[in-house]
Amino acid sequence: METILSIKNLSVQYIVGKKIVPALKNVSVSLNRNDALGIVGESGSGKSTLGLSILNILPKEAKITDGEVCFRDRNIFQLNKEEIQTIRGGKISIIFQDPLSSLNPVIKISEQIRETLKVHHQDFSDKKIKELFEMVQLANFYGIKDSYPHQLSGGMRQRIMIAQALASNPEILIADEPTTALDVTIQKEILELLKKLIKEFNLTVIFITHNFGIVYDICSRIAVMYNGEIIEEGKTSEILKNPKHPYTRSLLSVIPRSKQKIKRFDVIENWTME
């Protein structure tokens, strides 16, 4: 199988005042083409830091102290500004958990998508933007295109974020808890949409979540994170049936016994670690 993303011995720390806080400790994981990898862990485990590290978009208080992230054998940390811009949003896209804080509040929705298309040398016509809206099941193009983010619902904003992430036909999609800020009904709609688009575009996916139900439904592999480390990795079905690490077993033990054998997403969607 073709490996398109390889993370090797990645270590990241945050500088908080005079204190050094390790966030990632020698994390190694690889991603084959068309893989769907779930990064699962409780808050503070380092899973979102891992997602940001892949695109080298960590906040200024974070520092990569060791390791590498290679996209098709090119170490992202060694690329110049133009090279990384080609990959970031072009070859690897990310969907954040809070679209309201991710979208620019003073720029119209259509112009934000248009700018993404321009940067990656794509068709940026209204026709193309309308096609992207339809792709994420936003039918009212003329009613939405001149709106600002705060004028849209949470579900609509997240659909816009998905459209923006997929506008340049990326090879890898990172979804960082994309339904956390949404109510349960909209969560399910967005997840079903993501599943459809992942299949339609043959995307390779990293799905960051604290919800085992989402992982079961979308991901073929799981990497469980604890305290900045991957403590267990394997096929989703194998880990859920026979977890090896005590921490993974403790996380799964909180799932009501009556739900552990039920496989439908609409039943297990609330399997969380919080």
Using alpha carbons, select from 170, 164, 217, 220 the residue that is nearest to residue 195.
Answer: 217
Walk along the chain (274 residues) and give the pLDDT tens digit of each residue: 789 999 999 999 999 888 999 999 999 999 999 999 999 988 899 999 999 999 999 999 999 999 999 999 999 999 998 899 889 988 999 999 888 888 999 999 999 999 999 988 899 999 999 999 999 999 889 989 999 999 999 999 999 999 999 998 999 999 999 888 788 888 889 999 999 999 998 899 999 998 887 888 889 999 999 999 999 999 998 998 899 999 888 877 766 544 444 343 343 444 444 4
Q: Which residue is listed with tokens 């170490």? A: 75
pLDDT recorded at residue 89:
86
List, in sequence order, every beta strand (DSSP E) within 142-228: 172-176, 204-209, 221-226
pLDDT recorded at residue 49:
96
Instruction: Report how far residue 145's alpha carbon sits from residue 159's, in angstroms, rounded to the nearest whole number.
Output: 13
Domain 34-49+81-268 class in CATH: alpha beta
Separation of first and last alpha carbons in the chain: 35
Q: Mapping DSSP to helix (H, G, I), strand (E, B) and coil, where does residue 251 land?
A: helix
Using alpha carbons, select from 257, 225, 260, 268 the residue that is nearest to residue 240.
Answer: 260
pTM: 0.88
Q: 119 vs 113, 114, 124, 167, 168, CA distance in Å?
A: 10, 9, 10, 11, 9
pLDDT recorded at residue 272:
44
**Residue-range domain boundaries for the chain:** 34-49+81-268
